[in-house]
Chain A
Amino acid sequence: MEIKLKLNGKVVTGHVQPDTVLLDFLREKGCLSVKCGCDTSNCGLCTVLMDAKPILSCSTLAVRADGHEIYTLEGLQEEASEFVGFIADQGADQCGFCNPGFVMNTIALLRENPEPTDDEIRAFLSGNLCRCSGYDGQLRGIRAFLDSRKN
């Protein structure tokens, strides 16, 4: 099936099978930040924005993205660069595998709620799993970023 969608601001087309998942389509289009970390829709690593909402690209059929707008980390470098340094400064990333999913969902969080409390951060990011850390580093990093914006 032919699909046409807006990917990181540019119109792209492609040929997909009815059961091709969006994740595979995006990787084929060169968006290698989009990774697969589980097969149960649980880990959040594959998070992308579809019509500005964070979704799991591993569990979305590519045909369902036809006519929609998708953003991956490749298209949101500038927005991400504002806060990723703060997370790195806390030593939150160990192997770093979970990072793209965390960054994408943090972007979604901060757009929806620019001044979240710690509990709101925890609740919004609870669908992003990390095998290495205890999530505290990420939380401290986001908090440090938010505090820096206030000063």
Chain B
Amino acid sequence: MITIKEYVRVKTLEEAWQLNQNKMNRILGGMLWMRLGSGMVNTAIDLSELGLDAIEENEEEFSIGAMVSLRDLEVHEGLNCYTNNAVKNALKDIVGVQFRNMATVGGSIWGRFGFSDVLTVFLALDTYVELYKGGIVPLEEFANRKADNDILVRLIVKKVSGKVVYSAMRNQSTDFPVLTCAVSNVNGTYKAVVGARPAKAAVYYDKENRLINGETEEARKMFAEDVAKVANTQSNARGSKEYRTHLMKVLVSRGLVELGGLDGN
């Protein structure tokens, strides 16, 4: 477990940002990933009094504060109605209910973890992150940046027309996934998001226009093959490179079949 010399419940984001400019200080999300480390933290910066634990919904978007727990997302009616339970499906196998009551969406997205179900599902939607200094950035761009000393304030999910499906393969329920996969059609654009390759989730577009004339079985298969060709995989303790590539084709095609059966927004 990490050691912590000081703990501050900040009163403003500016105070948090100032403290976070010192490399020895760390923002606390749910602290679940962070505590696995063994380093020393000078000041642990707690954002829990800044009101960042709410999910707000209006006609145009969902605004999700950085301190919202994974469990609150999992059981949020509006978000699950909009995503046809894709958000719930992505989160429900992460360790356990108690864990998801603590793990935050801010820490999960900030971490840009290779195995992340959270990053995978939000990349499939029209999602943006709001950074305290960096402003509003598309999630896809943020996911490819290196971590700096900014603060993730909230996630914004635009309510555009579209539909999304989530699935992941686990060797055992609640273990880290072997592969994560979300397939969506957002504003008419098809995306396949594949993570835990074991590299971080990345977005693959239908560049060859396989699906442009409808989701036929042949078109689905070709798109899945395209994705598997460009999405590099590696072996680790959970699965081999070849197995992952095979899984990818299966999960992308299955996702597309399911997507075809949905009404969409």
Q: Give chain B residues whose Cβ lies under 8 Å from the Cβ of A99.
A: none
Is A11 on the interface with B (CB-CB < 8 A)?
Answer: no
Q: Is the CB of A64 within 8 A of B98?
A: no
Cβ of A72 under 8 Å from chain B: no
CB proximity of A124 to chain B, nearest CB, Å: 6
Interface string of A53-64 (1 = CB under 8 A from B): 111100111011
Interface: A105 (CB within 8 A)? yes
B136 within 8 A of A: no
Given the contacts A54-B98, A59-B102, A64 and B92 also touching, CB distance less than 8 Å: no
Residues of A within 8 A of B96 (CB): 42, 44, 105, 125-128
A53 to B30, CA, bound (A): 14
Q: A41-B35, A64-B46 are in contact. Are A55 and B4 (CB under 8 A)?
A: no
Report the Cα distance A41→B94, complex, angstroms.
11
Asked, given contacts A18-B7, A18-B44, A19-B2, whether A126 binds B173 with beta carbons under 8 Å apart, the answer is yes
Q: Which residue of A lies closest to B3 (CB)?
A: A19
Does A147 sit at the interface, judged by CB under 8 A? no
Cα A39 to Cα B7 with chains together (Å) = 22
Q: A-facing mask of B245-260, CB < 8 A → 1, else 0?
A: 0000000000000000
Compute how far the CA of A79 lies from the CA of B231 in the bound complex, rounded to whole angstroms: 52
Does B81 belong to the interface (CB within 8 Å)? Answer: no
Report if A95 contacts B (CB, 8 A): no
Contacts of B28 in A (CB 8 A): 61
Say yes or no: A123 contacts B98, CB within 8 Å. no
CB-based contact B35/A59 at 8 Å: yes
How far in angstroms is the closest Cβ of chain A from B51?
A: 15
**CB-CB under 8 A for A19 and B32, given A41-B99, A108-B97:** no
Note all chain B residues with C-beta closer than 8 A to A18.
4-7, 44
| Contact assessment for A47 and B98 in the assembled complex, using a CB-CB cutoff below 8 Å | yes
Interface residue range, chain B = 20 to 34
Q: B149 contacts the other chain (Cβ, under 8 Å)?
A: no
Q: Which residues of A in the span 39-88 have a Cβ within 8 Å of any Cβ on B?
A: 39-42, 44, 47, 53-56, 59-61, 63-64
C-alpha gap A126/B94 in the complex (Å): 10
Chain B residues closer than 8 Å to A108, beta-carbon distance: 97
Question: Complex Cα distance A42/B101, Å?
Answer: 13
Residues of B within 8 A of A39 (CB): 1
> In the complex, which residues of chain B have a beta carbon less than 8 angstroms from the beta carbon of A42?
95-96, 99, 174
B94-112 CB mask vs A (1 if < 8 Å, else 0) is 0111110110000000000
A79 to chain B, nearest CB (A): 17
A55 touches B102 (CB 8 A): yes
B36 adjacent to chain A (CB < 8 Å): yes
Report yes or no: A127 in contact with B174, Cβ–Cβ below 8 A: yes
Contacts of A17 in B (CB 8 A): 4
- In the bound complex, CA of A48 to CA of B96 (Å): 14
25 CB-based A-B contacts, threshold 8 Å: A1-B7, A18-B4, A18-B5, A18-B7, A19-B7, A21-B1, A41-B99, A42-B96, A42-B99, A44-B98, A53-B71, A55-B101, A59-B30, A59-B31, A59-B32, A59-B102, A61-B44, A63-B7, A64-B48, A105-B97, A105-B98, A123-B92, A126-B174, A127-B97, A127-B98
Write the nearest CB–CB distance from A24 to chain B, whole angstroms. 11
Q: Within the complex, which residue of B4, B92, B98 is in contact with A56, where a contact is CB–CB below 8 Å?
A: B98
| A117 CB, min distance to chain B CBs, angstroms | 15
* Complex Cα–Cα for A54 and B97 (A): 7
For B1, what are the chain A residues with a Cβ–Cβ distance below 8 Å? Answer: 19, 21, 39
Q: Shortest distance in angstroms between A9's beta carbon and chain B's nearest beta carbon?
A: 21
Establish whether residues B44 and A127, one from each chain, have CB atoms under 8 Å apart when the complex forms: no
